Structure 1
Amino acid sequence: MNTKTHSLLAAAILIILSGFTLIQKQTTLYIIGDSTAANKQEKAYPETGWGMELQSFFNDEVKVDNRALNGRSTKSFRAEKRWQPILENLKAGDYVLIEFGHNDEKIDKPNVGVSLADFKINLVNYVNETRSKKAIPVLLTPISRRSFKNGILTDTHGGYPGVTRKVADSLKVPLIDMLAKTEKLLTDLGDEGSVKLFLHVDSGHVNYPKGKKDDTHLSPTGAKQVAGLIVKGIKQLKLNLAKSLK
């Protein structure tokens, strides 16, 4: 084997090994939750889930796998077997962002809504099962709806965020209090200023001919800002994930 051939072969081996190392080191960051985080179909644009924006904050060491879905709760996400394939593929060092509440509170819908007591049980199960695979659960309270009354932002989530906080405290789970963070963001922007964060489109839009005023779901701008708040929370918690931020 001549020197040139030997050098080319060595270079090829290095490339293969470096690629293998990258795959081996890559951490998967799963998102489980509802429509506020979910990936959206083109027909729903400009509706955007915050989970769609999260990958842009990380380098190649982290792969965001967004499994959040419209209309799901802690109950229905499991009942529809959405959780099982995630659990089966979890590996040590992976993360699971767990954000529910928007639909759990709909107790008039028995396939989705759950009592506060059952909400607690469900969150505890997600946490314990994640930890059983040596992966790291992170609890998130639900984001705020844009619900101003006489210029004052009001809470619409009842006792559900409090349950999430209590589970995080009792089980020593990292918590990103997204309700608190988004309430501050919306309050700082005000009633009119916060419109840009949500799905407000004028009539004549290709996907919304009659227009749309939705104060629960996010616009691309809102999704980016909410994802940024989650990243801020990751830094504040000093999670290892923070080392892979751009």
Structure 2
Amino acid sequence: MVFPLMLILGGLSLMAFTQNEKPVVYLVGDSTMSDKRISSYPETGWGMPFQYYLTDEVEVENHARNGRSTRTFIEEGRWETIKETLKAGDYVFIQFGHNDEVPTKSRYTPPEQFQEFLRQYISETRQHDAHPILLTPITRRQFDENGQVKETHEQYSELMREVAASEYVPLIDMDRKSQAMLTEIGEEKSTLLFLHLEPGQNPNYPDGVTDNTHFSETGARMMAELVLQGLQELDHELAKYIVEGEE
């Protein structure tokens, strides 16, 4: 009986080893990316549908959390947790800015520190022989009188672009991509992409809600598709894991 048992245990060990060798995509960011509680439905972070656009040859771990900035994500030990399992060949998607840029918030991160923290994420990712990818923050839904989407992250998106260029890190410019998409869809129809509910429409929001930052299920899927598009435009090696027909 010992011999079959050894075979079984050996097989299980081999399975675990094989599974662990899959590349992992770690999502690091704020509420626009994060998983949501059922009590927040239909609010959806783009990281939730993103995993379903990729084959099972790669794993996705969504570590993004509501209200976090580059600084608080590190201070709370969330980045340290990722580093404990980060291995060669993994990928780290880094998307911040919404909370960093607001001086009145406790999560505020001054411009110089914002870039310093981005460089820390990049450097420590590379120390594990893993691959960082920067994503500028997704635009807020704000239109001007001419039907054009307003710049809502101009300074911090540019700060991230500077870091991407100086550190030779792939960048998906979600700010510009989402601005272009919302402009094309238009002011009225773009409400369908965000958390807009009338009173009584959903039990989680009995008084209704008008939120031009966070996404509906439809909006989250469309933002995830912009990320896929960005990977393809970069000719990034992760693009080979995109499910056929998705872009």
TM-score by length of 1: 0.91
Distance in 1 (alpha carbons) for counterparts of 2:178 and 2:104? 26
1:33 to 8, 29, 32: 29
Q: Give the secondary structure class of the aligned counterpart of 1:85.
A: helix
Counterpart in the other structure of 2:112: 117
Aligned residue identity for 1:134: D
Shift in Å, 1:149:
2.2
Counterpart in the other structure of 2:129: 134
Aligned residue identity for 2:216: S
Shift in Å, 1:88:
1.5
Distance in 1 (alpha carbons) for counterparts of 2:53 and 2:167? 28
Cα distance 1:104–1:240, how it changes in 2: closer, same or farther (>3 A)?
same
Shift in Å, 1:55:
0.7
Counterpart in the other structure of 2:42: 46
1:29–1:65 contact (8 Å) kept in structure 2: yes
2:97–2:136 contact (8 Å) kept in structure 1: yes
2:153–2:175 contact (8 Å) kept in structure 1: no
Aligned residue identity for 2:125: T
After superposition, where does 1:29-178 map in structure 2 within 5 Å? 29-109=25-105, 111-150=106-145, 151-178=147-174
Uncovered stretches (5+) of structure 2, i.e. residues with no partner:
1-7
Q: Give the secondary structure class of the aligned counterpart of 1:242.
A: helix
Uncovered stretches (5+) of structure 1, i.e. residues with no partner:
1-11
Aligned residue identity for 2:130: A
Aligned residue identity for 1:215: N
Counterpart in the other structure of 1:9: none
Residues 19-65 of structure 1, C-alpha deviation per residue, up to 9 Å, x if partnerless? 45741441110001000001000000000000001111111111110
Cα distance 1:80–1:20, how it changes in 2: closer, same or farther (>3 A)?
closer
Rg comparison, structure with higher value: 1
RMSD of aligned alpha carbons = 2.0
Percent of matched pairs sharing the same residue? 45
Q: Give the secondary structure class of the aligned counterpart of 1:147.
A: coil
Distance in 2 (alpha carbons) for counterparts of 1:242 and 1:18? 27
Counterpart in the other structure of 1:206: 203
Aligned residue identity for 1:234: L
2:42–2:217 contact (8 Å) kept in structure 1: yes
After superposition, where does 1:185-224 map in structure 2 within 5 Å? 185-204=181-200, 205-224=202-221
Distance in 2 (alpha carbons) for counterparts of 1:132 and 1:190? 44
Q: Give the secondary structure class of the aligned counterpart of 1:186.
A: helix
Cα distance 1:40–1:105, how it changes in 2: closer, same or farther (>3 A)?
same
Q: Give the secondary structure class of the aligned counterpart of 2:188.
A: helix
2:95–2:135 contact (8 Å) kept in structure 1: yes
Given the alignment of the two structures, is residue 242 of structure 1 paired with residue 239 of structure 2, yes or no? yes
Q: Give the secondary structure class of the aligned counterpart of 1:106.
A: coil
Distance in 1 (alpha carbons) for counterparts of 2:14 and 2:54? 19
Distance in 2 (alpha carbons) for counterparts of 1:94 and 1:158? 30
Aligned residue identity for 1:146: R
